[in-house]
Structure 1
């Protein structure tokens, strides 16, 4: 995926590049009890994101993906979008001054209904192959579970933190 020309001359380097966040969604478990879903996101560069999920039904997932970014308001709001091997579509809005993340996730039926199979690390060929099979579950690409959530950012820093580095030549999807 090419770098978006709109990033040239933008505040991307100051606002997003190499930014790493740890954040919690205030969600509910299958019985309606409150629980925290902890996510870790590293805006690696203008073409990739790296993340790990530490809580909730997708806990145990480590991935990196080709992403597109667009600036909504420099220094304030950025959107990051990506498509996963499971067929899940992710859209995240980073609200810098309010330290909030807002997301819309369009989970493929396979990813949502077989979320344990969506766990693992993309660097492991067996996990990656299993994830690709999850995209085939369901009657059509319209067979999705939409989830809109907001999260509070707990930590915000530069660099990989505990996430593993990636190589740009590694394929996505």
Structure 2
């Protein structure tokens, strides 16, 4: 039995399917100076997301993941959740009318403290193997860095944009 209700008869197709979003976090660098962390997310379908990170400590990361979605309020609010090879847990709430993402990321110790090693492209076997090793860093899986942020959406369009296509048969963990 699935944990989440089915997306059947939901507004997923109108609200999210094939939606590509470019967004900025208004963050601060290690010295407290303001900086933008540019991300892009493509809600590929009801089972997958594809994303790239262009700014901040994880800049240079390109990935795709299995994801779960739940509708909070049709046409307005959606939650998307996924688990990464690094052990990082991600949760994103898309506020469609206010053009924001609100996120909670539970970074694995290895992903956060060795963020340069967390960069690369999942399609590269060396990058993927390195990411999986990052999940093993720390005392336990409870050794995490929690980061709550809000991002402003800059662009919304359909299709992959500059992100690479994926195949549904590709493994995600």
**Which category of TM-score, normalised to the shorter sequence, fits these structures?**
over 0.9
Residue equivalent to 1:28: 28
Q: Which consecutive segments of 4 or more residues in structure 1 shift more than 4 A?
A: 2-5
Question: Unmatched 5+ residue regions in structure 1?
Answer: none
Report the secondary structure of 2:6's partner residue.
Answer: helix
Residue equivalent to 2:139: 139
CA distance in 1, matches of 2:67, 2:149: 19
Q: TM-score, normalised by structure 1?
A: 0.98
CA distance in 2, matches of 1:5, 1:143: 31
CA distance in 2, matches of 1:5, 1:30: 41
Question: Unmatched 5+ residue regions in structure 2?
Answer: none
Q: TM-score, normalised by structure 2?
A: 0.98
Say if 1:3 and 1:47, in contact at 8 Å, map to a contact too: no
Q: How many residues align?
A: 172
Say if 2:85 and 2:131, in contact at 8 Å, map to a contact too: yes
Query: Aligned Cα RMSD in Å?
Result: 1.1
Matched, 1:6 2:6: yes
CA distance in 1, matches of 2:98, 2:115: 31
**Greater helix share, structure number:** 1
Matched, 1:167 2:161: no
